[in-house]
Amino acid sequence: MHGKHVIGTVKVQDKELLASEKRIKEIITSFCKRAKLSVVSETLYLFSNPAAITYCLILSQSHLIVHTWPEYDTITFDLFTCSPDYESEAVGKLFADETRGSLIDEKIILV
């Protein structure tokens, strides 16, 4: 198997974003379009205390999982793509741009 696994954390300024199902879906949909990722299935879970979101997307390329951490003003992402040609180096910056946040951690693993 060959692919790229990108894991990162973004610090966001807009704390209301982290508990908004509608806004998270809009942002992740835009991110997937800009990142040329094809969503084939999705599920979203809302936590109540604290209000947080886990959003899982099955991609034709593999998967994207997003989790919000309102208590830390952060959102994390876990993207795996089985396409060896995928430009994973741009993922963190693109994700930070979409959330209007600052990328504070990112790891790229080649498998």
CA-based nearest residue to 55, from 24, 96, 33, 97: 24
Q: What are the tokens at 3?
A: 């692919």
Largest CA distance in the chain: 40
Q: Is 78 helix (H, G, I), strand (E, B) or coil?
A: strand
Active site residue ranges: 62, 67, 82
Q: Is 62 helix (H, G, I), strand (E, B) or coil?
A: strand
Residues facing 44 on adjacent strands: 55
